[in-house]
Amino acid sequence: MKNRITTRIEIPGTTIRYYNLSKKSFLAKAFPDKSELINISKSGASFFVNESLDFGEKLTMKFFFPDGNIFKLAGHVRWVKDSAQYLNYNIGVLFYPFGIGKGYNPPKALEYFKIVHKLDKVIIEKKDETEED
């Protein structure tokens, strides 16, 4: 089986506020949960959260980059790892596609990743049968 791996980078000082779209609420959509970015690629991001999230949960995230850029992106939880060292959870989010219209992430964010952070490279690797996602 082949696995597509995009270049991942760390951007120190980047914070994220996220809203869990899978949990229905009549409250106004705020972004109460704040986290620090672990790493990001043009296909997704990893960060710590205080509560466990389930595979597939839909999130809307606001990324606050140290250069002042802010992007609102949507995606779903791809994996969750318990981080006993930090008493929280490390999650991986797969971004929804970039494009124009409802259900897409803004292409401007993808251009920012490509131009400012050089996230244009995609590597195709063969996945070892013993590896986990």
pLDDT in tens, the chain (133 residues): 345 566 788 888 999 998 887 765 545 456 666 788 999 988 999 998 888 889 999 999 999 999 999 999 999 999 998 876 666 888 999 999 999 988 899 999 988 888 877 766 544 344 444 444 4
Q: What is the DSSP letter of 27?
A: S
Classify residue 27: in a domain, yes or no: no
Q: Where are the alpha helices (DSSP H) in the chain?
A: 107-117
73 and 105 in contact (C-beta within 8 Å)?
A: yes
Stated pTM of the model: 0.77
Classify residue 20: in a domain, yes or no: no
Classify residue 58: in a domain, yes or no: yes
Classify residue 127: in a domain, yes or no: no
Classify residue 55: in a domain, yes or no: yes
Classify residue 21: in a domain, yes or no: no
81's enclosing H/E stretch is strand 70-83
119 and 5 in contact (C-beta within 8 Å)?
A: no
Domain holding 49: CATH number?
Answer: 2.40.10.220
The range of the structural domain enclosing residue 69 comes to: 2-7+32-118
Q: Provide the number of structural domains found in the chain.
A: 1
φ/ψ of 115, rounded to 5, equals -80, -50
Classify residue 92: in a domain, yes or no: yes
